[in-house]
Amino acid sequence: MEPKRQRLNRRGLLGAAGGAAALGAVGAGAAALGRGSDETEPAAAPATTVPFHGAHQAGITDDAPSQAVLLALDVNDDVDADRLAAVMRLLSDDAARLTQGEAALADADPELAAEPALLTVTFGFGLDLLDRLGLSVPAGAGPLPAFSVDRLEDAWSGGDLLIQVCGEGDLALSHAIRMLVKDSRSFAGVRWAQRGFRQRPAGGGTPRNVLGQIDGTSNPDPGSADGGEAIWFGPEAGALAGGTVMAVRRMRTGLDRWDRLDAVGKDRVIGRRIADGAPLTGEAEDDPVDLDAREDSGLPVIPTNAHVRRAIEAGETILRRSYNYDDGPGPDGESDTGLVFIAYQADIGQFIAIQEHLAEADLLNDYAVPIGSAVFVLPPGCEEGGWIGQGLFA
């Protein structure tokens, strides 16, 4: 038998403004097992849930699903640390339930939560909010400088509280967002919302972005020592150890200009073949990039200003999780299309080093322009009975 779940009401979650609230245990959401007709061979049903609880927040190193919505909220000026702690208990409980296919507290449409479709919810805090409330900011977190390529718009920049919702079901995402925003209205307003999509190839593999480029090759392995060190805050971050710093960059792409390039031109801009994602010095997507390879003429095979060369030569590692966006054509018929580029790293300096190197001379700058930018500190995950950000408010 499953353990009986302790039910809490909204008042119980919001009433205490310090320390941990005793949230009810959330089911692990493991996929049910079925049996074949001969009752001899167990067959695992497709997973529909991603665990909410754990050492790290979900939605960072999991396989990126096809849909993502990023919300940035501005927290009201009269909200203090105690009030924010109470709200994070409520939002964490909402997320824990919804990601496991359970209705949130006071959900008027509980049926919409029944099919979570690999739903994940991830929370982060803006640097200004942490500073305003006197909360700890890890050494690895800091603002981004102005880059020469930036054409930033306030409509897509900044924010106090990040809510990232990802999954495979449009209805599950829509319902989760509505519940989380509803439970945020009393203390914050939505600053911006960005919706992104990915389409994994039918035969598996790395998805393409709106430029046609295979996007996401050579990401670090979070399970390795080097990969983990590049992504997660270490013990020196105290209560934030196991968290990460997240950079969100909205990149508007000039598809009409991009389409004027032939296949060879596009390959040289990226430094990889658009057709199969292989580096210009290799045969397959995962082949190593040889920056020293030369043509018979003596020129480098991968141009000096190619995107992949500029990124590698910066000498830093980040975890990339990009989504496409398409807000449709404007009156001139040109599409407002681009990328919601997300990077996770233990130190924002890793991202800055790469971006400075790209801003200096990347050929892709002519076709992808940053119009939005934000940085958030993502706390570690939590155990059952805990809540996201709890260590910050201890």
215 has catalytic annotation: yes
Residue owning tokens 């190197």:
357
Both tokens of 77, joined, read: 């000026």
- Name the residue type at position 118: L
**CA 210 → CA 63, 229, 258, distances in Å?**
19, 31, 10
Both tokens of 209, joined, read: 């972005």
Residue 28: alpha-carbon gap to chain centroid:
22
**CB 334 within 8 Å of CB 276:** no
Residue owning tokens 């399970």:
223
Distance, CA of 315 to CA of 46 (rounded, Å): 39
Both tokens of 76, joined, read: 């009201």
From 93, 94, 160, 215, the catalytic residue: 215
Distance, CA of 181 to CA of 193 (rounded, Å): 11
Both tokens of 323, joined, read: 């989504």
Distance, CA of 141 to CA of 347 (rounded, Å): 6
Burial class of 99 by CB neighbour count within 10 A (0 to 12, 13 to 18, 19+): buried
From the CB of residue 236, how many other CB atoms can be counted at a distance below 10 Å?
A: 10
Distance, CA of 29 to CA of 107 (rounded, Å): 20
**CB 378 within 8 Å of CB 122:** yes
Distance, CA of 177 to CA of 181 (rounded, Å): 6
From the CB of residue 181, how many other CB atoms can be counted at a distance below 10 Å?
A: 16
Coil, helix or strand at residue 268:
helix
Distance, CA of 244 to CA of 163 (rounded, Å): 15
Distance, CA of 356 to CA of 32 (rounded, Å): 48
Coil, helix or strand at residue 173:
helix
Active centre residues (catalytic): 215
